Amino acid sequence: MTPVRPRILHLAVVLVLAAGLSGCDERPVPAFDEARAFEDLKSQVAFGPRNPGSEGHERCRAFLVERLTAAGGRVSEQAFDDTVYGRPYRLTNVRARFGPDRGPWIVLGAHWDTRPTADMDPDPAKRAQPVLGANDGASGVAVLLEIARAMGQTPPPVGVEIVLFDGEDLGEGGDVEGFCRGSRHYVRHLTHPRPQLALIADLVGDKDLELHYEQNSFNAAPNIVERIWTGATKVKAPAFVKGVRHNVYDDHAPFLESGIPGINVIDFDYPAWHTTGDDLTQVSAGSLGQVGRTFLWYLYASDWGVADGAAGGR
């Protein structure tokens, strides 16, 4: 992901659908096992850097397929060739479907690749090294893997496709075109009916977690953002703090540009971002738990009926 400087991201006009905005609080919400999620985070870090083309990248891809299959997801791999700054890459989005095959459906997303260079490291001698990505990569994935287990045990009331995007972190500086390669590819190849929402988790394992509204998300779908943050109070997740702080180009942006509401849950106040210090000392199971509980509450305690005139399910 990258901060949107110096230009503001120009968003498509987004029709915010009614799904997910009203409550259904009597529906039971599955528990989120933050300790098990943290083990998944550690397993990813144990592969080493997972930048495309590395050994760790290939080992992690197989791990993600295995974990999502074991959770009961209908798993597929969306492999594609891409070229970024003249360099060819083989990238793979790992996908898993849960819940109903018909009716409204949504995307839960996170990126699983890590940055190939620690360009923000305070030590110039380390800036050519790859990033381990305990938070920037592994944290969002860990949350979604545990949510997958919960959905495998208790099917969600709405169709959910977990998508672990590849090639998110290949960009340079503020050039947004080099980032979010996997989510761009995914959105370009969507067929109708399209998802009603994409909910993205990134940088959510910071031990000092503080999650504010992301500007583009709030501009596109303020009612959805407010419902998620309100839900966080119900599941004792104080890291969710109401109010806009950042304007970030991340994996939600290709959805927004395509007219699909995209919500980015991210803590961009992370000193170890794009440095060699993004390791296990910077993350905590409790942070993963706050995000996981909030996402599950939103999925299970929302009314996913389709408004008149809204697109149907997949």
Within a domain: residue 153?
yes
Within a domain: residue 306?
no
Q: How many domains does the chain have?
A: 1
Query: Among residues 235, 229, 227, 226, which one has the least CA distance to residue 28?
Result: 235
Within a domain: residue 102?
yes
Read off the pLDDT of each residue in 18-26 and give the average, rounded to a whole number: 56
CA distances 14 to 160, 215, 224, 258, Å, are 20, 14, 12, 9
Quote the pLDDT of residue 254: 97
Within a domain: residue 240?
yes
Report the CATH number at residue 53: 3.40.630.10
pLDDT band at 1 (very low <50, low <70, confident <90, very high): confident
pLDDT band at 288 (very low <50, low <70, confident <90, very high): very high
Name the strand (E) or helix (H) holding 243: strand 240-246
- CA 313-180-104 angle, 5° bins: 10
Burial class (CB in 10 A: 0-12, 13-18, 19+), 28: exposed
Within a domain: residue 307?
no
Q: Are 250 and 265 in contact (CB under 8 A)?
A: no
Beta strands in 10-152 (DSSP E): 74-84, 87-98, 105-111
* Range of lowest pLDDT (12-21, 46-55, 111-120, 128-137): 12-21
Quote the pLDDT of residue 303: 87
Quote the pLDDT of residue 4: 57
User: Which residues constitute the domain of residue 106?
Assistant: 2-300
The 10s digit of each residue's pLDDT in 74-98 is 999 999 999 999 999 999 999 999 9
Within a domain: residue 308?
no
Query: Among residues 127, 94, 97, 98, which one has the least CA distance to residue 111?
Result: 94
